[in-house]
């Protein structure tokens, strides 16, 4: 499973990119608003940092014509911009149009296998089921990943499944086991994945032994 970072924070993207583990970036309007900066400027910086890696930028229009106009402007910022479109009738129309124009899309706010199937059929390059938000309402987010992976596999659908709304490292492991192509996660979850108390203790003990051997 590939690792994407889910943030519009340029410093965090730089740090994750330096680790060599990153395969892409996703943003959304809430994450961009949190930074309090000009969206296009932030997008340009992110696209520069990650080179060729895909960067999802979300449209905020709700009508297909407006989504396409907005998305074309965002896509013109850099070659690696993927247009993120919400899972609605108008969104699907827009995805179809973007596909005809050769612009990649990521259909977001997916909460059912049928939504993922429709998004893939409309030509989306990526579908983003939100597992954390399903868990929040007492539904099984990881089961949705398993269902979509099974359907895409049976029918040879090429859209990549992004496990989104990841809240903790167990989501990452389970989504990877269930067949998600990508997990997009906050920087905090990447840090949590790096950490293990036995690794820290091990380093401490090695260094202590090293020092006492010198005496
Ligand atoms: C995915 O592309 C979304 O930006 C994201 O994963 C949403 O996560 P949240 O439910 O933690 O806001």
**Global ipTM:** 0.97
Nearest CA, atom 1, ligand 1: 164
Contact status, residue 55 vs residue 28, Cβ threshold 8 Å: no
Tally of domains in the chain:
1
Pocket test of ligand 1: the residue of 8, 107, 132, 161 to mutate, having most ligand atoms within 8 Å of its CB, is 132
Range of the domain at 103: 2-214
172 lines ligand 1 (CB under 6 A): no
Neighbours of 213 (CB within 10 A): 7
How many CA atoms are closer than 13 Å to the CA of 155, on its beta-carbon side? 13
Judge contact between 163 and 182, C-beta under 8 A.
yes
Structure confidence by residue, pLDDT tens digits, 60-71: 999 999 999 999
Full-model pTM: 0.96
Catalytic: which of 14, 63, 73, 84?
Answer: 84
Q: How far is CA 187 from CA 8, 13, 169, in A?
A: 11, 8, 11
Label the pairing between strands 22-26 and 2-6.
Answer: parallel
Q: Please report the pLDDT score of residue 215 as a whole number.
A: 80
Closest C-alpha to ligand 1, atom 6: 165
CATH number at residue 112: 3.20.20.70
Q: What's the Cα-to-Cα distance from 109 to each of 52, 185, 191, rounded to whole Å?
A: 25, 15, 25
**Annotated catalytic, 188?**
no
The tokens for 154 are: 């049976």
The encoded tokens of residue 38 equal: 């000009």
Query: Residue 25: enclosing H or E segment and its boundaries?
Result: strand 22-26
Residue 82: band (very low, low, confident or very high) from pLDDT cuts 50, 70, 90: very high
In the reported structure, the alpha carbon of residue 115 is separated from the centroid of ligand 1 by a whole-number distance in angstroms of 17
Q: Which atom of ligand 1 is nearest to the CA of 27?
A: 4
Token pair in block for residue 156: 């040879």
Q: For residue 161, what pLDDT is reported? A: 99
Backbone phi, then psi, for 110, in 5-degree steps? -95, 125
């Amino acid at each position: 499973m590939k690792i994407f970072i889910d943030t519009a924070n340029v410093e965090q993207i730089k740090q994750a990119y330096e680790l060599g583990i990153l395969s892409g970036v996703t943003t959304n309007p809430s994450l961009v608003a949190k930074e309090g900066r000009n969206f296009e400027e932030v997008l340009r910086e992110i696209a520069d940092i990650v080179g060729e890696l895909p960067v999802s930028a979300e449209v905020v229009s709700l009508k297909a014509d407006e989504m396409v106009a907005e998305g074309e402007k965002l896509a013109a910022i850099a070659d690696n911009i993927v247009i993120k479109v919400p899972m609605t009738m108008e969104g699907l129309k827009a995805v179809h149009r973007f596909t005809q124009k050769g612009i990649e899309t990521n259909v977001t706010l997916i909460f059912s296998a049928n939504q993922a199937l429709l998004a893939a059929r409309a030509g989306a390059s990526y579908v983003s089921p939100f597992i954390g938000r399903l868990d929040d309402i007492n539904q099984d987010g990881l089961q949705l990943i398993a269902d979509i992976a099974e359907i895409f596999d049976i029918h040879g659908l090429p859209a990549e499944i992004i496990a989104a709304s990841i809240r903790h490292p167990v989501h990452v492991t389970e989504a990877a086991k269930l067949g998600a192509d990508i997990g997009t996660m906050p920087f905090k979850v990447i840090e949590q994945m790096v950490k293990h108390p036995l690794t820290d203790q091990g380093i401490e003990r090695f260094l202590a032994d090293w020092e006492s051997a010198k005496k």
